[in-house]
Amino acid sequence: MSRSIRVELNWPQENTVIVGDRHFFAYDRSGAVHVIASRCAHRGGPLHLGRIEDGKLRCPWHGNTFRVDRLCARGVAVVQRGSKVIAYLPVTDPDADESPAVVHSIVLAE
């Protein structure tokens, strides 16, 4: 059985979560908030530092782009209640101390 870490965000002021050496970020797509791992499929670049251009997220490392409407397929479970976004982040190493999660406010550039 997989475990998860429950993290509550005050959306949209808080949109980035750091758990150990992993980053996750929240973004809005058509009024629904999604939370995904900030790890580029190419070489692991920090997608939360990328730019949104014409509906695509451009990775800051090598410039590959990913359609924003397809990023949610890589997302984690999310419950949204007004300005509260509750995300359930996967635990990758049950023996590692992955708490507490630290919430930052890093905003995707548009």
The residue among 5 and 50 lying less far from ligand FES, judged by its C-beta, is 50
| Binding range to ligand FES, per CB under 6 A, among 2-10, 24-32, 36-44, 74-82 | 36-44
Strand residues in 2-74 grouped as ranges (E): 4-10, 16-19, 22-29, 32-37, 51-53, 56-58, 65-67
6 binds ligand FES (CB under 6 A): no
Instruction: Return phi, psi of residue 109, to 5°.
Output: -75, 145
67 binds ligand FES (CB under 6 A): no
The two three-digit tokens of residue 16, written as one number = 């980035």
Cα separation, 67 vs 52, whole angstroms:
9
Judged by CB under 6 A, which of 33, 36, 40, 71 binds ligand FES? 40
62 binds ligand FES (CB under 6 A): yes
Binding site for ligand FES (CB under 6 A): 40, 42-45, 59, 61-62, 64
